Amino acid sequence: MSTALPEVLDLLGRQSHAIDGGDGPGWAATFTADGVFRSPTYPEPVRGRAALTRFAAAFAPANPRTRHVVTGTCVDPGGADALVARSTLLVVRTESDGAVRILRVATLRDRLVRVDGRWLIAERAVSVD
């Protein structure tokens, strides 16, 4: 599945830029229509494009100067037309004095499926172990 890695990296990069820039629809568009986002930071999973859009649109205004850095991505087969991607996430903030602070280091586990010729996230699980 290494041939899919460039596409997956592009997807994850666009996703990070979208949420950090307040582009809720752009972030939600990286998920399937019924996609699910689970994180221990939030009490309930976020399900479906409308909820994902609202979730992402609210992030940037509440977290100015915060960025998602996704790295160390590995892609494995996940079934017919499916992949599992594991990545390391760093959430960083640049303070007003220019200092950079790491807010969180987490692991992303994404189940991706092919939809209309492109990879989308069907389910993301964030863990902080």
How much of the chain, in percent, has pLDDT values that exceed 70?
Answer: 98
Please say if the pLDDT value at position 1 is more than 50: no
Distances (CA, A) of 98 to 22, 92, 93, 101, 104: 21, 12, 9, 10, 18
Q: What is the pLDDT of residues 96-113, one digit of tens each?
A: 999 999 999 999 999 999
Q: What is the CATH number of the domain that holds 7?
A: 3.10.450.50
Buried b (16+ CB within 10 A) or exposed e, 3-31: ebeebbbebbeebbebbbebbbebbbbbb
How many residues in total does the chain contain? 129
Q: In the predicted model, what is the mean pLDDT of residues 22-49?
A: 97
Q: Write down the residue that tokens 């959430």 correspond to.
A: 91
Count of domains in the chain? 1
Q: Which has more pLDDT, 59 or 1?
A: 59
In the chain, the amino acid numbered 29 is A
Domain extent, residue 103, equals 2-127
